[in-house]
Amino acid sequence: MIMAGGSLAIAAAAAVWFMQMGSISASDDAAQAALAAGIDSKEQAAIEAIVRDYILKNPEIIPEAVEILQTRQKAQAINEIRKDIEAPFAGAAFAGNPNGDVIVVEYSDFACPYCKQTTADIGRILKEDKNIKVVFRELPILSEASNDAALMALAAAKQGKYFAFHKTMFATGRPTPSTIENAAKEVGIDMTAARKFMATPEAQKELQNNIEIARKLQFTGTPAFVVGNQTEVGAIGYDGLKQMIAKARGSK
């Protein structure tokens, strides 16, 4: 019966064994940790044998452990930038309850057909759940025209007309100089002021920041979502969004 060090001893021995499994030599630090836990060489060997036998009989714990680690790393990455992603541009690039208990952040591209498809899902959720805030972030990665549409969306936010433009732009069609202008005029955007703003460093910086954050969160396309400590990429649909919201709400 192995008594030395309790769970700490087992954890230390397991760490050493995992390093050996990965063909990495156990470091002096690991050996010192084992000694600090009160494990001599014979006890360490015995514990490693127990750990090895358990893992071989229950290999499913390895992907489970990896998933837990990845979830923690993702949460840490989100928490480091949460204020940046949940604060709507110009205080206006959002829809729903400004004080909602759950914030859904959507990264989208006006040239993305799946983003267009998602507008109906977002609209349904906003209609059904009056305690949701949806923050929209521009991620124009598909074309120069989608970049122009994104800049116009930011200009719309500056004029307090973001969500109206967002919906109208997706309904109008793929972004081109004419569809962008038509959507902007339809929602009453001051075009002179908009064009002036679109050329400012502030507008360019917002798009660049969004791209950098998307890279940090390992988004591979659009739409992409951040809800609480969760991220998803792709048209996950109404049910997928509801599940993310429920999970975020349940963790509060």
| pLDDT > 70 in the chain, percent | 84
Q: How far apart are CA 53 and CA 40, in angstroms?
A: 20
pLDDT on residue 5 = 44
Percent of the chain with pLDDT strictly greater than 90: 68
Measure CA of the first residue to CA of the last residue in the chain; give whole Å: 43
Retrieve residue 17's tokens.
Answer: 């064994």
pLDDT of residue 168: 98
Residue 94 bridge partners (DSSP):
135
pLDDT of residue 40: 72
Note the pLDDT of residue 7.
47
Cβ–Cβ under 8 Å, residues 101 and 86: no
The residue ranges of the chain whose pLDDT is under 50 are 1-10, 12-13, 16-17, 19-27
What's the pLDDT at 155?
98
E strands, the chain, are 94-96, 102-108, 132-138, 224-227, 230-233
> How many helices (H) and strands (E) are present in the chain, helices listed first?
11, 5
